[in-house]
Amino acid sequence: MQAAQTTEKPLTFIKSKADSPQGADTQVDASGTWTLAQIEALFALPFNELMFKAQQTHQANFPEGDVELATLISIKTGGCPEDCGYCPQAARYDTDVKADKLMNLDDVLEAAKAAKAAGSNRFCMGAAWREPKDRDIEKVTAMIKGVKALGLETCATLGMLEASQAQALQEAGLDFYNHNLDTSEDFYRSVISTRGYQDRLDTISNVRAVGMSVCCGGIVGMGESRQQRAAFLTRLANLSPYPESVPINHLVPVAGTPLADQAPLDPLEFVRTIAVARITMPRARVRLSAGRQELGRSVQAMCFLAGANSIFYGEQLLTTANPEAEQDRELLAELGLKTKQSSKSEVLI
């Protein structure tokens, strides 16, 4: 089946209006298009100026200042034929992750009930597939319907989707489909060779075409340059429309993967990435995803100040550890932040 054409706008490589970051144009143009030069200029702003600009954008678009709590579970772990250099679920890498079959419906619903009881409002289901088979879609749609019946928002990440599969998920009530770009197009082949960049854009287009919301972000700290981080955010911000959810992952090096020995990214550079994502995609939920445990409380607090307003919540992501729910609640309470479901006067206790 021929994939739908993408509606994203191509990158426009132009020079900034001045040589210095302070003099460069950092405002989106009337058409809503960001240039690479503009986003590079945002990255180059003095840190306090960038944070102030991001906080202004955040307050203007999310006056409640609440934080969305999302729980992510792996409904099918390991055995993936892809070669993503960061992923311990790739069958070709010697890691501690073992291939499992698709979870049964009852176990998924029990996990969803536990997530809701812990305070989550979105339940995300991930499967280590290159692309699902139609028989897999039938099983996942039953999970979507069951989770929706519990009153939770639903999200799934199952790999590449054909248009008919996206339609089936939408008809089952799926709210969000996650399919990350991962990084910039020019750095992409340094990390992944088994799936092209256009494949990812085509899946996003198929999701948009059936009316589902898009969850799309990537991973920073894989060895890319700042310019490549800027190009990655430029591509995201110029999707038409840009994603409703933008997960920003900090690389968690896993033994046995090609990126196991990757040097860590400067934490302040990660905060800058969050701030630029907030400014360029002002109405999106910008999510702190993998790697929060390694960042620590202080850096996470700066990320919230920079405009992050969603977290993956719970003890486990797909295959990596995540700060425990109680620790998250303590941090949010200390910062005076409300959850998405809280009332105007309620803070976490």
What's the average model confidence in pLDDT over 188-194? 95
Mean pLDDT of 84-92: 90
Q: Is the pLDDT of residue 17 over 60?
A: no
> What's the pLDDT band for 99 if we cut at 50, 70, 90?
confident
How far apart, in whole angstroms, are the C-alpha atoms of residue 253 and residue 259?
6
Least confident of 9-18, 22-31, 133-142, 332-341: 9-18
Rounded to an integer, what distance in angstroms lies between the CA atom of residue 307 and that of residue 276?
Answer: 9
Q: Quote the percentage of the chain above a pLDDT of 70.
A: 86
Q: Is-contact 155 124, C-beta < 8 A?
A: yes
Number of H helices, E strands in the chain: 11, 10
Going by the DSSP 8-state scheme, the letter that residue 338 receives in this structure is E
Rounded Cα distance between 46 and 59, Å, is 20
Return the amino acid letter for 18: A
What pLDDT band is residue 8 in, cutting at 50, 70 and 90? very low
Least reliable range by pLDDT among 143-147, 171-175, 183-187, 336-340: 336-340
Q: Give the integer Cα–Cα distance in Å for 129 and 165.
A: 14
Burial status of residue 343 (CB atoms within 10 A of its CB: 0-12, 13-18, 19 or more): exposed
- Domain-by-domain residue ranges, the chain? 64-339
Q: What Å distances lie between residue 105 and 62, 89, 125, 141, CA to CA?
A: 35, 22, 12, 10
What is the pLDDT averaged over residues 317-342? 74
What's the mean per-residue pLDDT of the chain? 87
Burial class (CB in 10 A: 0-12, 13-18, 19+), 96: exposed
Instruction: Note if the bond before 63 is cis, omega within 30 degrees.
Output: no
Q: Which two tokens stand for residue 218?
A: 């990537």
State residue 5's pLDDT score: 40
Mean pLDDT of 89-110: 90
Give 162's DSSP letter.
-
Spatial contact of 92 and 128, defined as CB atoms under 8 Å apart: no
Reported as a single tens digit per residue, the pLDDT across 201-238 is 999 999 999 999 999 999 999 999 999 999 999 999 99
Three-state SS annotation for 286-325: EEECCCHHHHHHHHHHHHHHCCCCEEECCCECCCCECCCH
Rounded Cα distance between 316 and 328, Å, is 13
Query: What's residue 323's pLDDT?
Result: 53
pLDDT band at 315 (very low <50, low <70, confident <90, very high): low
The fold for domain 64-339 equals TIM Barrel (3.20.20)
Q: In whole angstroms, what is the distance from residue 52 CA to residue 67 CA?
A: 19
Q: Give the relative orientation of helices 134-149 and 105-117 as an angle to the nearest 10 degrees.
A: 40
Known catalytic residues are 80, 84, 87, 124, 155, 215, 287
Whole-angstrom distance, CA of residue 222 vs CA of residue 260: 10
Which one, of 281, 178, 278, lies nearest residue 239 by Cα? 281
CB within 8 Å of 326: residues ≥ 6 apart? none
pTM of the shown model:
0.87
